Chains A and B, each alone.
Chain A
């Protein structure tokens, strides 16, 4: 391979890894919330954007260091989740077939946040860019990569790994997984199902916020990223299997690489068409997804 091809290959690889790990984070957050409280959160893209915009305000407007800003953004998701749960989400915990109510509810939240963002941030700027976490460039062979993106990638993978460890080994995580698999059986085995709902709603949103702030640290963005992310996360969740974190991560990585490759060789519309097409096929023929238990 020539040098130019190597650079193209490595840049596609790094973009694929970064996008894939961010997609995985957001989709994991969405699937955790759906798997436990049965809420298909169409507002996930707006939450993602909210985190990114918070990050922008903290760093650009208030001059806080990006690393501290990232921690603050992820931290603030917890009280926000709690507030949302108490105000709206809780009311439906005992309603049968609540997933459609939640879905419509989250479309309403989407519309509100979209309106608020375009009335505020939309007036202030078209493009948003955060200062880097760290500066400098590392060479991998002939290929230069910004240290900042490497840091983002490392953080994204670390958070995913932490999520896996939490779900597999911690007792909260095990309780969550028990609820994913069978609510009634989990309740019989003494798991406090309602408490696990609060826990997973907060955890899921925190992971989505983490995805948003990491994305903002790696790339500049505009307000349209919200809807794209929402649809992408849903596609990943449906294809991976609703409630399957492993499915979300595997398919999220596949989508990240697809996006990276497609943006080199074809138009982004083709990429979107292919995601949506894949999602339709799975919905129609294997609605439990590829990684269903």
Chain B
């Protein structure tokens, strides 16, 4: 291909994003370090960083490819249980993490297959059913997951020498994961793959007509998006120290979706902002835990009714006001 215009614009594009990316990198490492005196606040920062990994994956699928996978948390859970069980059986966490994430990727790719036949609402409903099946599976296969009770006292990973690594050190690993996640997302959206995914989001039939192998690239999106879910899930388990089927149920999928939609789907920084705003919010309200559900629910309605482009749309090109959020992102001609 000799499209030199895209290569020149590519490097200028990177220049444009270098500033925000640099700032984000510094903040991602500095904030947990600065907060390390107060373990609770540092913990909130750490959870936010994990959610940035998740929203990046959800953004790739929902924001850039136009698929709304409500089984996202379930996929993260598959990786979390894998990593915990493998670590418990004597594996190093640093081996268990990629294995768990890869397992989640493969599972996510297979569970994404219905998106080849089903569009819009029908795929989203299908993904909701899949999520419910995964949650039931987590409860049912109690010998692997300890059922509804969940697995508690999951240790932090072993340090290179001896003992486990400290929580502040793990914070920095989370920061690295969040930064890598965002960099990978930026790289994808600036690449030919990004162009293909956006074309699929906008009109998959037209994309196919232009020579794009829609099947292959939808599966690629699911593989990469699920990898994000999996990495986040495997890091989440030892950081929180406790996982149960509730940690990865449909509510969590909706929360991650909301962070992307509220922040601004299909933008790099919108979903990051969504996570940064909404994750600490749920901790502020910890005393009244379910107040969070009410607020998140109100925000879902606000996003659908009032701000289809999320908070980032005020800064970027405004989406047509009549177009509700999900309608634009997902191609809806119903089932084929």
Contacts and interface: CB of A to CB of B under 8 A. Distances in A.
A touching B, CB within 8 angstroms: yes
Contact of A114 (B139, B293, B326, B327): B293
Interface in A260-290: 269, 272-273, 276-277, 279-280, 283-284, 287-288
B47 to A, nearest CB: 20
24 contacts: A95-B324, A97-B327, A99-B332, A101-B304, A101-B324, A104-B300, A104-B326, A105-B305, A108-B301, A111-B293, A111-B296, A112-B293, A112-B298, A114-B293, A118-B290, A119-B288, A238-B125, A269-B140, A272-B136, A280-B126, A283-B126, A283-B129, A284-B117, A288-B335
A283 B294 contact: no
Contacts of A111: 251, 254, 293-294, 296-297, 300
Contacts, number: 133
Interface of B: 68, 114, 117-118, 120-122, 124-126, 128-130, 132-133, 136, 139-140, 251, 254, 288, 290-294, 296-301, 304-305, 322-327, 330, 332-335
A250 B129 CA distance: 21
A107 interface: yes
A155 B109 CA distance: 47
Contacts of A136: none
A276 B300 contact: no
A234 interface: yes
Contacts of B301: 88, 105, 108-109, 112
A164 interface: no
Counting from the closest, the 10 A-B pairs by CB-CB distance are: A108-B300, A111-B297, A115-B293, A112-B297, A287-B335, A97-B332, A115-B294, A101-B324, A99-B121, A100-B326
B237 to A, nearest CB: 24
Interface residues of A, number: 43
A190 interface: no
Chain A, interface SS category = helix
Chain B, interface SS category = helix
A108 B297 contact: yes
A28 B125 CA distance: 18
Interface string A103-133: 1110111111111101100100000000000
B129 A276 contact: yes
A241 interface: no
Contacts of B335: 283, 287-288
Contacts of B330: 97, 100
Interface in A196-225: none
A127 to B, nearest CB: 18
